[in-house]
Structure 1
Amino acid sequence: MRRVLGLVLLGLAAAAAVGATFLPFSELLIRLAPGQPQTAYVTTGWSTQFGATKDEHGPLFGIPVVVAAAAVLAGMRWRKVAYAGAAGLAGATGMLFVYLLNAISFHQEGNIAIDPALQAGFGNGVWVLMTAVVVAFAGVVIHPDD
């Protein structure tokens, strides 16, 4: 039972991490001119979209997450590899979180005077990614290769 649970947790963590890269990491609602509706600026692991316009040169935050998720999957066989994958996933998530926290704080502190009603915050992708890190480490702890 422990073997199956450990493998399931590692598989879920890898799937959740990769899935998170397609969800919004950050969301910004900004009004570009007085009296105009707010426009959404959304960043995922692979793209940035401002309203209906998609940036051709996306941020590619998803690459280190997918690499770490692949290591977590490879770790289904070897505990040390699973641990390295979980650590890599935690590192990528932590760096992304700090970057987004800085960007969101910058906008919320009124550094953009265009729109006093500007709203900035984390998207669901960040929370799914953090959950994937916790699940990956849980999978490492009960890994059958002790």
Structure 2
Amino acid sequence: MKLLSAVLLAVAAAAAVAATFLPLSELFIRLAPDQPQTAYVTTGWSTYFGQTKDEHGPLFAVPVVAAAVATLLGIRWRKVAYAGAASLAGVTGMLFVYLLNAISFHREGNITIDPGLEAGFGSGVWVLVTAVVVAFAGVLVHPDD
């Protein structure tokens, strides 16, 4: 069980860090009626509008990486594994709610430039949610100290 727990916790930590490089949210907007839609993509480290990178990145990844490190340290101690999984769940939940609010704002037509605007979660959010589930699975099979 110790090996299975270690593998699950390591996979969860790696998946969480990898998720920070994937799109967390995606917005496709047309700035003028005759223009193609432009992608506005946010990752854990940066935001891109088309090919232009915003020089002031969101840094959503910093608490995710900190939670992943705690999860990884939990390979040795069950209580630390639980704390790491819980912090990863908290960070993921807060990020999910933040992005849900931003996506809902755009879906409700608050930007009237483009009635065909598309907004949604990126793959990074779903990888983070999966990492949380795997982390808690690692906690469940972790042998007691």
Does TM-score exceed 0.5, indicating one fold? yes
AA aligned to 1:22 is: F
Taking the aligned partners of 1:86 and 1:11, their CA distance within structure 2 comes to: 11
Report the alpha carbon displacement of residue 144 of structure 1 after superposing the two structures with TM.
2.2
Taking the aligned partners of 1:90 and 1:64, their CA distance within structure 2 comes to: 11
Show the counterpart of 2:28.
Answer: 29
Show the counterpart of 1:83.
Answer: 82
Show the counterpart of 2:132.
Answer: 133
Taking the aligned partners of 1:47 and 1:103, their CA distance within structure 2 comes to: 16
**TM norm structure 1:** 0.98
Show the counterpart of 1:14.
Answer: 13
Taking the aligned partners of 1:81 and 1:3, their CA distance within structure 2 comes to: 14
| Number of residue pairs the alignment of both structures matches | 145
Segments of structure 2 that go 5 or more residues without pairing to the other structure are none
Matched ranges for 1:43-122 at <5 A: 43-122=42-121
Taking the aligned partners of 1:82 and 1:62, their CA distance within structure 2 comes to: 20
Report the alpha carbon displacement of residue 91 of structure 1 after superposing the two structures with TM.
0.4
Taking the aligned partners of 2:34 and 2:140, their CA distance within structure 1 comes to: 54
AA aligned to 2:60 is: F
Taking the aligned partners of 1:41 and 1:122, their CA distance within structure 2 comes to: 12
1:120 counterpart SS class? strand
1:23, 1:123 within 8 Å by CA — same for their partners in 2? Answer: yes
**TM norm structure 2:** 0.99
Once the two structures are superposed, what CA deviation does each residue of 1:63-87 show, in whole Å capped at 9, x if it has no partner?
0000000000111000000100000
Taking the aligned partners of 2:130 and 2:41, their CA distance within structure 1 comes to: 21
AA aligned to 2:115 is: P
Once the two structures are superposed, what CA deviation does each residue of 1:1-47 show, in whole Å capped at 9, x if it has no partner?
x1111110000000000000000000000000111000000000000
2:136 counterpart SS class? helix
Structure 1 outlier segments of 4+, above 3 Å = none
Identity, % of aligned positions: 79
1:72, 1:82 within 8 Å by CA — same for their partners in 2? Answer: yes
1:49 counterpart SS class? strand
